[in-house]
Chain A
Amino acid sequence: MRIILIGLAVAAVASGVSAIIPPYTGFLTAQLAVIVIAVASLNLLGNVAGMLSLASAAFMGLGGYGVLIFLTIYGLPLIVSIPLTLIIGFVFGWIMGLIAVRLSGISLAIVTFGFVQVFQVFVKQGGAFSGDGYGLILPPVEILGIGPLTPRIISLTCVFTAAMVLVFTLALTRSRIGRAWFAIKENPIAAEMQGVNLLSMRAKAFATSGAMASLAGILQAFLLGITNPSLYTVDASISHLSMMVVGGSSGSVAGSVLGPVVLYFLPEFFHLGSYREILYGGALLLTLALAPQGLAGASKYLGRYLVSTSRNWMRR
């Protein structure tokens, strides 16, 4: 309960701040929020449940294309389209989870890699559902009673949702399910001996992560106003993976925010876009070599070190 209240307060403050900063920074912040959700979904899968996935881009694509297909082709209202899309992400995640149970970590990485390639085929060759390969455009939408969706409202929603998603993952990792996931990651056989159902737990982890990534995709589609195949390539998945590893492991919420801030927000803010891949790859290698726990782990260590040294210094 306390977590949720704190989360609400943080979310309100964050949305408030993003409402008063200049438009471009506001847009970047909203993009950052979308990426934070995607990275949090990978974090849940990788660092909590111990599965390496490269499919985050495809799940985001399911969200983006799903919601725009429901809105434009079937003409459904917003209130219906979003939950339906989330369910689709959840179901696809569940299926991927059932496959994952039978595979080792490396094979799963290959399968998720292939899934993104297959998704690319569908968004390029999906006929009317994919806008003949050019992608879909967001129609003018109205929310009940508030009026048309303006960029500012969408940006606010992105930041608020990201904060709520982080609270949700924090609560989830501390629940019974979260502890079961940690147990599976540390030692699957011991976890099974304790009565953890491996099959259902892995499927649940993938399904939750799939729904979260779809949510990120939905928000991204609203934020950009379009979807197109180039948004959902393996490169996007790799960028999320880099941010997850650089941000930090052990499923901490701080990692899901630190990674995107360092690898997305700062480079964009300082216009280093053309060096993006070098930055991702280099940061990834450095993190793996020097700070396996990522920035979150390193800062925790640094914090402890500073506290203890300052205490010693005070005593002297």
Chain B
Amino acid sequence: MTNLIGALALGSVYSLIAIGVVLVYRTTGLINFAQGELVAIGAYAYIFACSWSGSPIITLGVAIIAGAAAGGIFFVVVHMLLRGREELRLVVGTIALLTLVQGGARLLATDRPYRAPTWLFPDRTITFAGAVLPLNSLVIITVLGVAVIALFLWFSTTIAGKAMSAVAEDPLRSALAGIPVRTMLLLSWTGAGALAAIAGVLISPITGVFPVMGAQLFLAAVVAAVIGGLDSVFGALIGGLIVGLIQTYAVIWVGGDLRDVVVFGLLLAFLLVRPSGLFGSGRLRRV
């Protein structure tokens, strides 16, 4: 039971990052290699906010604003500075952003992980039905649930959400219908940044905050997105949980450091055998 909750909590963090990957991929057809760096930016903003405020709402808010702003800057770089370049060059552009953020973090902070306080509740456990559960893990799972429900409501009930889905379907015709395509692209990048920042706040008490923290999470998150089908938000949610479960039980049964190998195996298996993933439409692009 304890392991299961831990696995789901880890998976929830992956899901949050993977949903960001999917938001960007759906609207632009790009994998943002710097998605993990948005997590790091959120985490750094969070510990910075923690140093002068104890309110969980303010600290989370500062992290989200920082992540969303960074996502917006990434949008400006990829879609305005590099406008019109071929797809692979845009991917290289996101790799450049990754290097810049990591290098900047190394210059401004140290390589040694900072300790981050846990968000909302101090670190403690509760006993439920005979099992000892870390409260923090339950918070993480709840936050994922809230975020997904909010996203679902936003996509299904608001005009902006529907416009964004339309842009993902067909940018050209959406533009003809009067949808501000560029604003929608900006929204998907800032949304990805905000989600990654939330993931950063939730994971930083466990891993600490250091310059390459995002790079470690990115591979698992992108595999989660591939499992889900790359263009499905729901798929990314399930994919993240699957990766979290498999990683945790791989560590328990096979032993510590093979978890990246297992994840890589999953990635290859899905890309080669079922490129449209579990929930992907498979009609968008050849993956």
Contact = CB atoms under 8 A, between A and B. Distances in A.
Interface in A98-134: 99, 102-107, 109-111, 113-115, 117-118, 120-121, 124-125
Interface string B153-180: 0000000000000000000000000000
A114 B219 contact: yes
A267 interface: no
B206 interface: no
Interface residues of B, number: 43
Contacts of B99: 235, 238, 242, 277-278, 280-281, 284
Contact of B85 (A54, A115, A280, A288): A288
B103 A276 contact: yes
Interface string B43-74: 00000000000000000000000000000000
Nearest to B216: A117
A283 to B, nearest CB: 8
A241 B264 contact: no
B287 A288 contact: no
Interface string A47-58: 000001010000
A109 B92 CA distance: 10
B283 to A, nearest CB: 14
A107 B271 contact: yes
B83 to A, nearest CB: 9
Given A284-B92, A285-B93, A103 B287 contact: yes
B38 to A, nearest CB: 15
Given A114-B264, A234-B215, A278 B285 contact: no
Most B CB within 10 A of own CB, among A114, A118, A121:
A114
A104 B106 contact: no
Contacts of B85: 288, 292
Interface residues of A, number: 41
Contact of A282 (B100, B226, B258): B100
B104 interface: yes
Interface in A185-243: 234-235, 238, 241-242
A124 B261 CA distance: 13
Nearest to A115: B264
A121 B92 contact: no
Contacts of A118: 260-261, 264
Given A277-B102, A277-B103, A278-B100, A106 B91 contact: yes
A24 interface: no
B222 interface: yes
A52 B100 CA distance: 20
A1 interface: no
A110 B100 contact: no
A115 B271 CA distance: 14
Contact of A103 (B31, B95, B260, B271): B271
B141 interface: no
Interface string B249-263: 000000001101101
A241 B271 CA distance: 24
A31 to B, nearest CB: 20
A238 B85 CA distance: 19
Given A52-B88, A99-B272, A284-B92, A278 B260 contact: no
A274 interface: yes
B285 A52 contact: no
A275 interface: yes
A216 B257 CA distance: 28
A274 B93 CA distance: 22
A178 B81 CA distance: 33
B109 interface: no
Interface string A148-169: 0000000000000000000000
A111 B100 contact: no
B25 to A, nearest CB: 9
Question: Which 3 residue pairs are nearest across A and B when measured between Cβ atoms?
Answer: A277-B103, A281-B100, A281-B99
Given A117-B260, A121-B261, 5 more contacts: A242-B96, A277-B106, A278-B104, A281-B96, A284-B93
14 contacts: A105-B87, A109-B33, A111-B271, A114-B260, A117-B260, A118-B264, A125-B257, A242-B99, A274-B107, A278-B100, A282-B96, A284-B96, A288-B93, A289-B82
